[in-house]
Structure 1
Amino acid sequence: MPLLMAFRRYWAIVFFAVLTLPTIGLLTPDLPAPMRTVIAPEARWWTKATERLDPYINNVFGFRGAVLSAHNTYEKWIGGSGSARVISGEGGALFLGENQALEQSIGQLVRPQKVEMAVDLGARLDAEMRRLGGRFVFIIPPNGHTANFDLLPAYARHHKRTPTEYDLVAEGLKTRGVPFVDLRPLIEAGKAGGPVYYILDTHWNQRGALIAFNAAMAAVGRPDLEIAAKDAIGAPRPRLQGDLLRMKGETRSDTPDVLYPPKAPYAGATDGLKPLAGMVKENSARDTGESATGRDPFVSHGFETGHDGPRIMVIGDSFTQHFWDGYLAARASAFLWMHHRLCRFDWEAIQRFKPDILVYAPTERFLPCAGQPGAK
């Protein structure tokens, strides 16, 4: 009797092929996957292979991208906790695991075509403001991953490459002669006086927001509009919540954040100001790149303040939406804020408002354009 009957031989081939799939996967193209968190096996891994080698194998197995993609799809389908949306770093710091922000900040993700669209948009906005007789500046609030790079997990710091998209935009705008402020060195220098970014939240704190505001005003030739930190920011106090902490499904952290409460009149209250209506044609929530609820949390707002000052318009996102309201109300005769909509904002709003100063301020992770101004 033959060792394997004819019909069993086919099954043997199938089983053998399945067993060799992981090896084949190491040599064939794969789907994109999260970066590997273990770069190499630990020293003397053979003495404790299960403990020292398994983490490395779990990062380099064949078809890793396809497997992890399938796992993520399944987790969403069953309503998983969402903890994969948050990356844990050093010293209790948390980082966003979405929007490819980590890969972008460390130069693993570079999209030249979309970056060039952002540079082109900056040049168009500068030309428009010159036509209107006003001043323009392009700023990019860095991702938390960029601002707190030293708190990223070691594997992420190991993967850092240059140029990043931030680098390319900075160089492109400089080449085109578009006013631009690189906030990265300013944010880094600001750390000498205390935290400038939250570690339990995706945003900067009031110190970081004020550094950026003052830099923007200086860049448009209005250093007289800058605000001293001692006048605008109160004494630090603990902050026990943050959007990243909520996304991780936790209610408290062993390492509290630091909050710098704003002082009056820079606290952002708009009571008593005259609202400006009809300045912006609002788009749907999907155009913000940030809303997952179907409800737009980034409705534009504008006010006349009743005192002298330039008319200031900001096209930004959550980093400027409320962080800057108190500064704008104190320094402008009228101000208007609207969301950039991934470059698809209402262009005609500029003509309606006629700003003296225009600041374009997309956060780093929302820097690449998804379309042209006015597009739906």
Structure 2
Amino acid sequence: MPLLMAFRRYWAFVFFAVLTLPTFGLVLPDLPAPARTVIEPEAHWWERAAERLDPWINNVFGFRGAVLVAHGTYEKWLGTTGSRRVLVGEKGQLFIKDQQALEQSVGQLVRPAMVRELADVATMLDAEMRRLGGTFVMFVPPNGATVNYELLPEYARNRRTSPTEYDLLRDEMKARGLAFVDVRPVIQAGKAGGPVQFLLDSHWNHRGSLLAYNAVMAAVGRLDLAVDPADAIGPPRPNMRGDLLRIMGSTKPDFPDVVYPLKAPYDGRQNLTPIEGVMPAADPKDPFPPHAQETGRPGPRVMLIGDSYTQHFWSGYLAQRTSAFAWMHHRNCRFDLNAVDRFKPDILIFAPSERFMPCRGAPERNPPPAAATPPRVSP
């Protein structure tokens, strides 16, 4: 008897094709999907694969956008509240639940050891800047659930306790004598003038971003680097897009969001000169490529170690207020520490967002890129 009967051989080809689809999906066009937050497996992932490898697989599998949209559409058809990664609050406000952000914001998740580990990294960066003769400051962009706590469902509001991890970090930094800006009060106060957080997206909007930017510049004693909101931010207009909406698999929200567009020249269309040989080489698929650029303007050299809350939101401000600025992702504390020494900033800002505060390693000291050339001198 043949191992695989003739009428079943065609099905074998079908099954093989289905199994290879994810591989083709790595290179074929896909639907838009949330930005990848994990770009490589953790070290020694084979020791605890379910914990260390799964986050990477969830970020890189083929046809990721199509699968997430299909999954969200199916859940919505079933009448659920949407993706398990998204919480629907009052007035249509969406909240991200990844990394236990909700529990973190309401004080149900408190990890003192994690806070101390993050403060250790801040201590290291402060010492690096003292050696270079510059200024160090840290701030943490808050979760949406921290900013718009009043829009959480009632059951979540009733679970709120203190202190939160954000509170512990603020107190730990103060105890160590390190510069730390708690931007929560200024952002909360800013809500009186309009939204500071997107409705359909996990990030703050340009109003909230600029309020935090000005608070940080005031804390380092550089009011000359502040940006007047009237000069930088245009009138609000409706917006129907957002990363949380995409995660839910929805293409049309029940309520429109509000976006405050940036005005020129703060809208990111400046002519900048890349500084080579400073930042580590990045994978072309990395959604968070590091960069260092000269602006051709007078001002200090500013370096920012952050994530998506500052990657694009702050670039227009820094391009108008600095002679050179650099940005790189914190990579959960595994950033290249030598890049700080190569760039030699006057001001170093460490800004991991609230739900990405936990470290998954220590800063690394990597050599400059192989094709490095001497940095270009500002005119």
1:366 matched residue in structure 2: 356
Structure 1 unaligned segments of length 5 or more: list them.
1-72, 286-294
1:277/1:302 contact within 8 Å kept = yes
2:245 matched residue in structure 1: 245
1:140/1:361 contact within 8 Å kept = yes
Report the alpha carbon displacement of residue 282 of structure 1 after superposing the two structures with TM: 4.4
How far, CA to CA, are the matches of 1:80 and 1:265 in structure 2?
40
**Aligned Cα RMSD in Å?**
1.9
Report the alpha carbon displacement of residue 268 of structure 1 after superposing the two structures with TM: 1.4
1:157 matched residue in structure 2: 157
Identity in percent:
59
Letter in 1 for 2:301: R
1:117/1:369 contact within 8 Å kept = yes
1:264 correspondence with 2:254: no
Cα distance per residue 1:317-363 (max 9 Å; x no partner): 00000001100000000000000000110000010000001110110
Q: 2:301 aligns with which of 297, 311, 325?
A: 311
Report the alpha carbon displacement of residue 369 of structure 1 after superposing the two structures with TM: 1.1
Q: 2:332 aligns with which of 313, 329, 342?
A: 342
1:329 matched residue in structure 2: 319
1:227 correspondence with 2:217: no
1:177 alignment partner, SS class = coil
Taking a change above 3 Å as real, the CA distance of residues 284 and 146 of structure 1, as seen in their structure-2 partners, is farther
How far, CA to CA, are the matches of 2:264 and 2:131 in structure 1?
36
1:206 matched residue in structure 2: 206
2:40 matched residue in structure 1: none
Taking a change above 3 Å as real, the CA distance of residues 135 and 210 of structure 1, as seen in their structure-2 partners, is same
2:289 matched residue in structure 1: 299
Cα distance per residue 1:3-43 (max 9 Å; x no partner): xxxxxxxxxxxxxxxxxxxxxxxxxxxxxxxxxxxxxxxxx
1:142 alignment partner, SS class = coil
2:112 matched residue in structure 1: 112
2:71/2:249 contact within 8 Å kept = no
1:292 matched residue in structure 2: none
Taking a change above 3 Å as real, the CA distance of residues 146 and 284 of structure 1, as seen in their structure-2 partners, is farther
1:192 matched residue in structure 2: 192
1:99 alignment partner, SS class = helix
Taking a change above 3 Å as real, the CA distance of residues 167 and 344 of structure 1, as seen in their structure-2 partners, is same
Superposed structure 1 runs of 4+ greater than 3 Å apart: 79-82, 282-285
How far, CA to CA, are the matches of 2:287 and 2:161 in structure 1?
34
How far, CA to CA, are the matches of 1:139 and 1:191 in structure 2?
19
2:332/2:360 contact within 8 Å kept = yes
2:195/2:207 contact within 8 Å kept = yes
Letter in 2 for 1:367: M
Letter in 2 for 1:303: Q
2:5 matched residue in structure 1: none
1:274 matched residue in structure 2: 273
1:217/1:225 contact within 8 Å kept = yes
How far, CA to CA, are the matches of 2:274 and 2:365 in structure 1?
26
Letter in 2 for 1:353: F
Structure 2 unaligned segments of length 5 or more: list them.
1-57, 59-66, 73-81, 367-379
How far, CA to CA, are the matches of 1:282 and 1:184 in structure 2?
34
2:336/2:363 contact within 8 Å kept = yes
**Deviates most, 338-347 or 79-88:** 79-88
1:268/1:323 contact within 8 Å kept = no
Letter in 2 for 1:89: G
How far, CA to CA, are the matches of 2:156 and 2:268 in structure 1?
36
Report the alpha carbon displacement of residue 240 of structure 1 after superposing the two structures with TM: 0.8
How far, CA to CA, are the matches of 1:375 and 1:319 in structure 2?
25
1:355 correspondence with 2:345: yes
2:216 alignment partner, SS class = helix
Alignment length (residue pairs)? 291
Report the alpha carbon displacement of residue 80 of structure 1 after superposing the two structures with TM: 3.9
Letter in 2 for 1:358: L
**Deviates most, 273-282 or 300-309:** 273-282
How far, CA to CA, are the matches of 1:282 and 1:249 in structure 2?
34
1:22 matched residue in structure 2: none
Report the alpha carbon displacement of residue 225 of structure 1 after superposing the two structures with TM: 0.8
2:337/2:365 contact within 8 Å kept = no
How far, CA to CA, are the matches of 2:99 and 2:340 in structure 1?
29
How far, CA to CA, are the matches of 2:282 and 2:350 in structure 1?
18
1:84 alignment partner, SS class = coil
Report the alpha carbon displacement of residue 303 of structure 1 after superposing the two structures with TM: 0.9
Letter in 1 for 2:190: G
Report the alpha carbon displacement of residue 375 of structure 1 after superposing the two structures with TM: 7.8
Report the alpha carbon displacement of residue 284 of structure 1 after superposing the two structures with TM: 7.0
Letter in 2 for 1:172: E
TM-score (norm. length: structure 2): 0.74
Taking a change above 3 Å as real, the CA distance of residues 284 and 161 of structure 1, as seen in their structure-2 partners, is farther
How far, CA to CA, are the matches of 2:279 and 2:297 in structure 1?
23
Q: Larger radius of gyration, structure 1 or 2?
A: 1
How far, CA to CA, are the matches of 1:88 and 1:316 in structure 2?
27
How far, CA to CA, are the matches of 1:281 and 1:342 in structure 2?
16
